[in-house]
Structure 1
Amino acid sequence: MKILVTGFNSFRGVPVNPSEQVVRALAERSRRDARAELVTAVLATEYVAGTKRLRRLIRTVRPDAILCLGVALRRESISLERVALNLDDDSTPDNAGLIRQGRKIAPRGPDVYWSTLPLEALQKALQRRGIKASVSNHAGTFLCNHAFYVARQETAPRRRIPCGFIHLPGAGGRQRGALLRRFVQAIECCLQVIRKEKSRGKLPVRIRRG
């Protein structure tokens, strides 16, 4: 089962992005274990370049599942995002200096896309491991939400596959090394759940184009 996992690079106010660190750690582990079937990518924190690369990855890799990662500095636990909004609305410039406020991501697209990940199963699995996790109804209106929406747009409706977004909390004053290891463990746990649920037929089945 081929899974695409993405994160973002650093941006204003976030000199070290844990989603990038987690993706790089997963990539290293995947190189040591070919059975993992992980495709990893760190996206530019830019509306145009990041979106182009994400769309290209999904269309060329044709993954069986997609897990996008990002950071939410004010969150205190891992957030499993439920909904992607068709809205860019943030005063923060991306890394190319672009600001998008009050604009639809896809002018003719639906107002929302729902995650197709097994959110409750993910939450329970994380909590069983002592990892704080919650289901969130709002992925913000910056690039995390933008990537989430684009990924779901690419996988719906004919290419509908397990696809969603997870926010990692900021490090705050905590030890970065220990926290990174915890984040990697958390995402590996999520990947295990996705594989298990898919094998049991509880996740959307990819429809191949003829």
Structure 2
Amino acid sequence: MARPVIVTGFEPFGGEKSNASWEAVRLLPDEVEGHPIHKIKLPVVFGASGDIVESAIRELEPAAVLSVGEAGGRTCVTPERVAVNRMVARIPDNDGAQPQGDPVVEGGPDAYLSTLPLDDAVSAMSAAGVPSKVSDTAGLYVCNQVMYRVLHAVRSCGLKIPAGFAHVPYTPIQTVRKPERASLSSELSSAGLYSILITSLA
């Protein structure tokens, strides 16, 4: 059997009842290009979220890793270019932690670049009718921490695989009381994620 593909999303945080990332991830099919998709819902918690995905990478030795987060201010699906070795929390995580400049990995590199085919993924999403563009910042919250931990684990395990992170906008239901915020349906966001996976496994 082909090696699995790991795709992660997040639980709700910041008072929301849902998280657009998990809503998109859960709509993905069970396999892509013959590879089983191993879906993981991560807690919005510094440390624990990274531990979970790193453990899965070491156990499964996947063919690819795509972690996904919610970015309420964005208008399209945005694969991220870089993760930095720094954690700064504007609001506490779901366990109450609020780091202010701590490293993600003590002694780790300052940054990791995504190994996803970013430009090709954006082209594939656009061809599929999904609004998308490459982003140069994953922020400094839990999303950046997970992206950094993913890329650190992949390198530590010696895996030569496509791995990285993408943000998706709010879902329409999340903007009912925030009409000034952009939204994208879970179906379109999920189609975008699928395009990223197809492109990464080509």
TM-score, normalisation: structure 2? 0.88
Match of 2:200 among 191, 194, 202: 194
Alignment of 1:133-172 (within 5 A): 133-156=132-155, 158-171=158-171, 172=175
The SS at the match of 2:161 is coil
Q: Distance in 2 between matches of 1:193 and 1:34?
A: 10
Q: For residue 131 of structure 1, what is the aligned residue in structure 2?
A: 130
The reply on whether 1:21 has 2:23 as its aligned counterpart is: yes
* Structure 1: runs of 5+ lacking an equivalent: 197-210
Query: What is the CA-CA distance between 1:49 and the residue it aligns to?
Result: 2.1
Q: For residue 94 of structure 1, what is the aligned residue in structure 2?
A: 93
Amino acid at match of 1:163: A
The reply on whether 1:4 has 2:6 as its aligned counterpart is: yes
Q: Distance in 1 between matches of 2:109 and 2:201?
A: 28
Going from structure 1 to structure 2, the CA distance change for 1:36 and 1:107 (only over 3 Å counts) comes to: closer
Q: Distance in 1 between matches of 2:110 and 2:153?
A: 15
Amino acid at match of 1:63: P
1:105-134 residue CA offsets vs partner (Å, 9 max, x unmatched) = 112001000000000000111111221111
Q: For residue 84 of structure 1, what is the aligned residue in structure 2?
A: 83
The SS at the match of 1:153 is helix
The reply on whether 1:39 has 2:38 as its aligned counterpart is: yes
CA RMSD between the two structures: 2.0
The reply on whether 1:182 has 2:188 as its aligned counterpart is: yes
Query: What is the CA-CA distance between 1:146 and the residue it aligns to?
Result: 0.2
Amino acid at match of 2:6: L
The SS at the match of 1:57 is helix
The SS at the match of 2:165 is strand
Could you say which structure has the greater relative contact order, defined with CA pairs below 8 angstroms and 6 or more residues apart?
2
1:61-98 residue CA offsets vs partner (Å, 9 max, x unmatched) = 11011000000000111111000010001131111111
Query: What is the CA-CA distance between 1:12 and the residue it aligns to?
Result: 1.2
2:89 and 2:141 in contact (8 A); partners too: yes
Query: What is the CA-CA distance between 1:15 and the residue it aligns to?
Result: 2.2
The SS at the match of 1:6 is strand
Q: Distance in 1 between matches of 2:162 and 2:39?
A: 16
Equivalenced residues, count: 191
Q: Distance in 2 between matches of 1:56 and 1:3?
A: 14
Sequence identity percentage: 30
Q: Distance in 2 between matches of 1:86 and 1:140?
A: 11
